[in-house]
Amino acid sequence: MFDRRLIENFDWGFLGVISLICSAGLVILYSAVTAGADSAALHTLLKKQMIWMGAGFVIMAGSLIIDFRELDKLNLFIYVICVGLLISTYLFGQMGGGSRRWLVMGAVRMQPSELMKISLIISLAAVYSDNVVSQEGLGFRNLIKPLILCLIPFALIVKQPDLGTGLLLMLIAGSITFFVKVQKKVIFTLAGIGLAIVPLVWFFGLKEYQKGRILTFLNPDRDPLGAGYHIIQSKIAIGSGMITGKGFLQGTQNALNFLPEQHTDFILSVLAEEWGLVGCGVFLILYLILLFWGLNIAYACRSMFGSILAFGITVMIFWQIFINIGMVMGLMPVVGVPLPLISYGGSSVVTNMVGFGILLNISMRKFTKS
């Protein structure tokens, strides 16, 4: 039986914000692919992105039918499927740029590590909402299961190797855990262990190029030919936009292909060059609205599972925005994290849309108690 209240409670405003960012994203992507040297090939990217977004909206709409609380029960099932996909990627995945990240199924190329983010958020929400947590927060015992849930996909993703996505996963998981609250002594102990592990990871865990990236970030002059040069060009692009920008399709840094990956990771540079501080400011505000809306959905939800879930998805979007923008502005090491809803990339678009679908779902069912 369909409940009329679901339609009455539908969060049109949130959908509006998402649609607005998506449309703006396509405009920027258009700019990024039009000016490039091989624009014909890149234009197909724009088409593809539109198809992915369309598909994203359909999946988002479709997922609204199922009550989000079903996810609580299905969490382990989803988790196992996603880990299975990661393992198949490891076994049969397609190589690209020296790592094995893509799984090809017919015409569709997907990155299971993207879907893993959502799956982990669901699982953590399920685990934490089941636990009776004292006022002081989670103790060591409460953290064993979540830790195992995190480490399996983390290991598989780092093995690909895709350290960026792996760390993003840990950041999301960590944020959710802190949101639920952790005992002080646990925090101190973990911090201590972390400090002890860092040197070990540095000497035994990281590949040369990964160490290189971190060192380059700390000292950009170290790699003036690679990341250092990209960051310089990206900064020139952003800075040259000044207050109002050079105008739509007028970005020279973008047009002359000085930007690396201008349609994926470095797309913000295109925005900043063509629309200036004003454009970037508007964008930051749009993102801010999106994030606060998400947090508000977490607040309004009456079930603990829903609250944690909503928070987890919001935090996932937050970290991606922060890392991507920080990276193109030279505040962070260059890691391959796309800008949500703007960067080209099917798996990323679909994952974010699924996330928004879940947020809308929680929002429209916020009044039903579990």
Query: Which tokens in the block code for residue 165?
Result: 């996505």
- Least distance CB 277 / another protein (angstroms): 4
Which CB atom, from 32 or from 83, has the smaller least distance to another protein? 32
- How far is 112 from 122, CA to CA, in rounded Å? 16
Residues that bind another protein (CB under 8 A): 37-38, 95-99, 129-130, 132-135, 179, 181, 209, 221, 223-225, 228-229, 232-233, 235-243, 252-253, 256-258, 272-273, 276-277, 280-281, 284, 287-288, 291-292, 295, 298-299, 302-305, 307, 311, 315, 318, 322, 325-326, 329, 331, 369-370
- Our CB check for another protein shows the closer of 154 and 287 to be 287
CB 257, min distance to another protein, A: 5
Smallest gap from Cβ 176 to another protein, in A, equals 11
The DSSP result for 34-98, as a single string, is HSSTTHHHHHHHHHHHHHHHHHHHHHHHHHTSS-THHHHHHHHHHHHHHHHHHHHHHHHPEEETT
Q: Which helix (H) or strand (E) holds 359?
A: helix 346-364
CA distance 325 to 327: 5
Q: Nearest Cα to 294, choosing from 283, 308, 305, 281?
A: 308
Three-state DSSP at 103 gives strand
Q: Provide, rounded to whole angstroms, the least separation between the CB of residue 81 and another protein.
A: 25
Q: Residue 347: CB partners within 8 Å, gap ≥ 6?
A: 110, 111, 114, 115
Kindly state the smallest distance separating residue 322's Cβ from another protein, in Å.
Answer: 6
Q: Which is nearer to another protein, 202 or 299 (CB)?
A: 299
Q: Which is nearer to another protein, 95 or 104 (CB)?
A: 95
Q: Identify which of residues 152 and 232 has a Cβ nearer to another protein in the complex.
A: 232
d(CA 205, CA 198) in angstroms, rounded, equals 9
Task: Decide whether 151 or 256 has the Cβ nearer to another protein.
Answer: 256
CB of 33 to another protein, least distance (A): 15
